Structure formats: structure tokens, C-alpha cells
Structure 1
Amino acid sequence: MASRGPDETRRLFGRRRRAARRHTVVRVLLASAVVAVLLAGAWVVAFSSLLAADDVEITGTDQLTKTEVEATADVPIGRPLARIDLDAIEERVRSLPLVESVEASRSWPGTVRLRVTERTAVAWAEIDGEIRGIDRFGASFRRFDEPPALTQIRVDTRDPRDRQQAFEGLGAVVATLSSSAPDLLAAIAYGEAQTQDSLTFELADGRSIRWGSAEDSARKIEVVSALLGSVDAAEYDVSAPEQPTTRE
């Protein structure tokens, strides 16, 4: 095979250099085009009115009106959806006493969705002369004109911390009873406590259950249900469910 002469070799190298430069130029142009597209897309998403908030969709309300939730949420209509502070919206909506939780999300191209979970009363208590609904977290969140068909709970302490913790414990146990042992709940006349560890339930027939804290309530329900059906006593203590006791 004949070897290339110097001129032919130089021409070959020249063609290769020009092809490499063309490939480089093409790659640079393609990269620039991609960057331009990305920048344009980012501008449209973050700054353009094309993807601005123009609607608020609210679900989960029953006691609250959608108008009330929307006014409290104060969604900045007209602001690009990507730049709306959803955490701030959630915080504002959670300030409503009837709201247990809320989840805010974006729905492109222009909707802010609010999924609200309202508080539900599981018990009632007389607080400062008013009949108040108490939820499963012990929150007093609404007023009733008369006692509702729910379990009454009583908290007898002036210490604000003990008072709130006692309401939390009673609310948690009543909610558990409502879902897993409604017959037992129906037999309870009222629940009372002074601290989170002194929960007691008085039955309509005069017997009482010393519950202790709200911890391990599922096990306590099993134990006290068995005792109520097999042991005749005035008081059933399941505060330590592995070692329950009774008193005549």
C-alpha cells in the first residue's frame, strides 16, 4: 500500500480539524438552545402570568364554609403558582378553630388545592359555663347550645398544663373507645381526670374504671371488657393492664 505524501497528509488532517470544529460548533449550539429553552421554561413557570394562580379549590369542609376557608387562606391570586408559599397558606388555615389539619398543593396550570380535615367532637365538657365540643386531641373547638349525644368529660384542675393534658388523654381514650368498643363507651356516664395519668370513667350503673394514662388503651379495653363480664366489683383498675385489680 502506497504511503501518503506530505501534501495529502496535511489535507487529511485539515479535513479532520474542520470536521471536529463543526462538531464542536454544533454541540455548542445545541447546548445553548437547550439552556435557552430551560431558561424560557423557568421564566414561564416562575414569573409569567401564564401559570399564575387563578382559582382555589377546597375540599373536606362541612362545618366551615368554603368562603371562610378561602378568605383565611388568602391565596395570592395572580402570583405564579411556583412562587406561592404553600406552608404559609396551611398555617393560616390551621388558625381556624374548626380545622384539625390542612394540605395545600398546586394543580397546574393555575389552581391551589386545599384539602381540609375538620375537627370532630368525640366528647363534651362544660368550660367556663359553656358546653364545648372536645376532639380526639383534647382541643375545645366549638360551642353547643345543649349537651350533645356524646360522652361527657370533666377535668378538675386549675393548672393549665395539667388541664390540657387531662383533656388530651380523655379525648384520646374516648376516640379509641368510639372506634373499637362502642358498647363499652355507651355504658360510660362520664370520664374525669386531674392529670394525664389519672383518667377515670364512671359507668351508668355506678361502677368505675381507673384507666390511668391514655397509653396502651387497646390492651386496656380488652382487659376491662373481660373483667366487666366476669368479675362483680365496684372498681376496675386497668392502669397497669398486665396486672389489673378490682375493688368491692
Structure 2
Amino acid sequence: MTPSRPDRPTPPRRPPDPRPAAPRVPAPRSTGSTRADSSSTPAKDPAAEPKAASGRLASGRPASGKGATARSESGKAGPATGASAASSSGMPAGRDSAGNVTTYTARGRALGVPVRPSVVSTGSADRFAERLASRRRILRHKIYLVTAGVVAAAGLGWLLLLSPVLTLKPTEVSITGAGTVVAVEDVSAVVARVGGIPLPRLDTVGLRDRILDVPGVRSAKVLRVWPHGLAITLVSREPVAAVPQKPPSTGPAAGGPAGFTLLDTEGYQVGWADTAPKGLPVVSVPIDGKNERTLTAVLTVLRALPAGLRVQVATVAATSQDTVQMGLRDGSSVRWGSASDAPLKVAVLQALRKAPETSGAKEFDVSAPTLPITR
């Protein structure tokens, strides 16, 4: 009989190593009719999750995707890029090590490379700095624009008001309408005083007033002719009557030669002549304060006569403003009367001189134009 072998004590079994449970990933929410009831869905056992779950990223991306930790065939872990690098470093996805928000361009998203924003910063200090820099930049632009405008205005002002580009040249001044009594040299002498002044600064009104002081000028018009000239148009005081003037008995001119004072239609003395100019009637009305109304009536009658009839008048006499009488160069006389109804008297006189029955008359009385008399 074979002795039995004593039973060996059975060694205690080692308990299995506790395996770390994989992090639970929340299920995506659904909306509308596709939302499932949580009570009808059986809960998954965390222990039933495979070990491969530990290789997933916190962002829910598969381990084999781009940007996750890549493993080679030998089992060694490769470098993490993109969002996985942020996950492995403990920072939330979309932020760098400094905590700044990152964004992705189309190229950077494909490579998983975070890109810093180029315009807006997230920190309040950075935003304030950017705002201050923007305000300074706008202020600089305004200063540049204002400075450029001031420089341009100053240059334009110097060009127009001070430079010799637009100065007046007396040789380029034209004078017309001088007539027979205005000396063009006197007008040119007045213009020469303002030579060299830029045309924009030239006082044309003052120049016109100085030209009106020239003897024989009734009115004047001054226009600028760019870049260096002027156009001066004159209306001269043409004489219509020659009044005999005796030399004064006292004074510096005492004993001087007698002559004729030339008057225009307004009674202004426009000249002096030793003899009566050809074509001007001689008015035998003294120039003094006592005969002012009589002389005014005579000049008014002469102004109303047509040019063709006026040159035929040789003498004019009047003792009052209602007794104007003219002597024609053909030897006939005209009793005119007052200065009223001048157009009608002119028409009647011309008709009487043309009519065959009265053309040879020596005296025409048109003082009452509706009842003319010829002798």
C-alpha cells in the first residue's frame, strides 16, 4: 500500500489588477423628434469599454485622426500637434500656452496649426492699446491733411497775390472811347501808377475813380485781362457848344487872350479853344450864376437835336429859358421856344425844311409845334 502524499496548501490567488475606467464621454444631444428618452436607453457599463478608449482625445476625436497622438507600429507615441497638443498640456482646446484664443486658417486647419488672430485681441489691456494706437493714427492722418491744406493754400495765395506771375504790365493795357477831348496819355499815366501790382490785388474801383478825374472823361469801365492786362472803356464828354469867354479883368489871368469855353450836354467845361471849333455852335449865353437856367435850357435843346441837324446849327441865343433861338449855317433861323416837346419840334422842323412849299423859308417858328409858322 502506497502511502498517500500530503496535500499541499493551495496558494491564494492574486486579485486582478484594477483597470482604470475610461473617461465617460457625454452623448451628443439631439433635438426634435429624434431625441431619445434617457429612461428607455440602457446605461453602458464603463468596464465594458475597451482599453482603446484611453487613447482617445479629450475632444472626442479618434486616435487615428489628424492632430491626435500618433503611434507607430513599434508602439512609440509620436509628437502631438494642433488641438491635441493643447489637450495634452492641460489647456482647453483653442487656446495656446498663454491662454490666448487661437483661430485657424484654411491651411492651418488642415495642418492642425493654431494661428493667432491678426486684428482683435482678447485682453482688455491689448484692446486699450490697440484703440489708443488707432486714435493716434487717425490723429496723425488729420494733422497731415490739415498741414497739406495749409501749405497748399499758402502756396496758392503767394502765387496769386505776391508772385510776379499775374502782375499788371502797362504795355498790355488797352484804352478805347477817348473821343476828341480826352488825352490818352493822361489815362495811361494814371494806369502806370499801379503797374507791377498783381491783378487779383488790383483795386479796379479805385483805379476807375482816378480815371474819372481825368479831364473830359464822363464814365469809365475797367476790366482785368488775364494774365497781365487791362481793358479800359471810356465815355468822353464831347463838347456840344462853344461859349465865348472874355479874359478876367483882375487876377493872374487878367489881360489874357479871349477864347471859347467848350461845354458838354451836362454843362461841364471840357476844354478851351482860342477859336470856336468847326462844327460846334457858338452859344451867346454867359457862363455865370445868373444865367444858369437859360444855359441849361440851351444845352437841353442841343442834346435833343439829331447829329445831322446839330452840325447845321451855327449860333444859339436865349434871353430866358423859354426863348431859345438858333441860327442855321444856311442863313435861316429857328425859333424854338422852351426845351419842352423837343421830339415833336424836331419832327416838324425837318418836315418843313423838306416840303417844297416851305423849304425856301428863312424863318421857322416851332415854339408851338402844332401851329408852326414859316416866313
> Structure 2-normalised TM-score?
0.48
Matches within 5 A, 1:185-200: 185=310, 188-193=313-318, 197-198=321-322, 200=324
Paired residue for 2:237, among 112, 119, 131? 119
Q: Give the corresponding residue for 1:15.
A: none
Query: Shift of residue 106 of structure 1?
Result: 1.9
Q: Name the aligned partner's letter for residue 235 of structure 1.
A: D
Instruction: Give the match's secondary structure for 2:206.
Output: helix
Matches within 5 A, 1:141-180: 141-154=270-283, 156=285, 159-160=288-289, 162-163=291-292, 166-179=294-307
User: 8 Å contact 1:138–1:170 — kept in the other structure?
Assistant: no
Matches within 5 A, 1:14-163: 33=148, 36-56=151-171, 57-60=173-176, 61=178, 63=180, 64-128=182-246, 129-154=258-283, 156=285, 159-160=288-289, 162-163=291-292
Question: Does residue 202 of structure 1 match 2:320?
Answer: no
Q: Which has the larger radius of gyration?
A: 2
Q: Render the CA deviation track for 1:98-139: whole Å, top value 9, x for unaligned.
A: 323222222222223333333323332212331233323332
User: 8 Å contact 2:243–2:286 — kept in the other structure?
Assistant: no
Gaps (5+ residues) in structure 2?
A: 1-120, 123-132, 247-257
Q: Give the corresponding residue for 2:112.
A: none
Which structure shows the bigger proportion of residues in helix conformation?
1
Q: Name the aligned partner's letter for residue 112 of structure 1.
A: L
Stretch moving more, 95-104 or 148-157: 148-157
Instruction: Give the match's secondary structure for 2:305.
Output: helix
Query: Shift of residue 74 of structure 1?
Result: 4.6
Query: Shift of residue 192 of structure 1?
Result: 3.0
User: 8 Å contact 2:220–2:234 — kept in the other structure?
Assistant: yes
Which structure shows the bigger proportion of residues in strand conformation?
1
- In 2, distance between residues paired with 1:198 and 1:32? 76
User: 8 Å contact 2:285–2:291 — kept in the other structure?
Assistant: no
Question: Does residue 221 of structure 1 match 2:346?
Answer: yes
Total equivalences in the alignment = 233
| Structure 2 CA distance for partners of 1:155 and 1:62, relative to 1, 3 Å | closer
CA RMSD of aligned residues (A): 4.3
- In 1, distance between residues paired with 2:158 and 2:195? 18
Identity %: 19
- In 2, distance between residues paired with 1:29 and 1:199? 83
| Structure 2 CA distance for partners of 1:219 and 1:190, relative to 1, 3 Å | same
Question: Does residue 212 of structure 1 match 2:339?
Answer: yes
Q: Render the CA deviation track for 1:9-51: whole Å, top value 9, x for unaligned.
A: xxxxxxxxx99x9999878866765565344323322233322
| Structure 2 CA distance for partners of 1:166 and 1:104, relative to 1, 3 Å | farther
| Structure 2 CA distance for partners of 1:69 and 1:39, relative to 1, 3 Å | same
User: 8 Å contact 1:169–1:199 — kept in the other structure?
Assistant: no
- In 2, distance between residues paired with 1:194 and 1:84? 51
User: 8 Å contact 1:155–1:194 — kept in the other structure?
Assistant: no
User: 8 Å contact 1:189–1:201 — kept in the other structure?
Assistant: no
Query: Shift of residue 221 of structure 1?
Result: 1.4
User: 8 Å contact 1:153–1:191 — kept in the other structure?
Assistant: yes
- In 2, distance between residues paired with 1:193 and 1:220? 17
Query: Shift of residue 209 of structure 1?
Result: 1.6
User: 8 Å contact 1:53–1:110 — kept in the other structure?
Assistant: yes
Stretch moving more, 61-70 or 118-127: 61-70
Gaps (5+ residues) in structure 1?
A: 1-6, 9-17
User: 8 Å contact 1:157–1:194 — kept in the other structure?
Assistant: no
Instruction: Give the match's secondary structure for 2:186.
Output: helix
- In 1, distance between residues paired with 2:205 and 2:291? 31
- In 2, distance between residues paired with 1:27 and 1:169? 73
| Structure 2 CA distance for partners of 1:101 and 1:207, relative to 1, 3 Å | closer
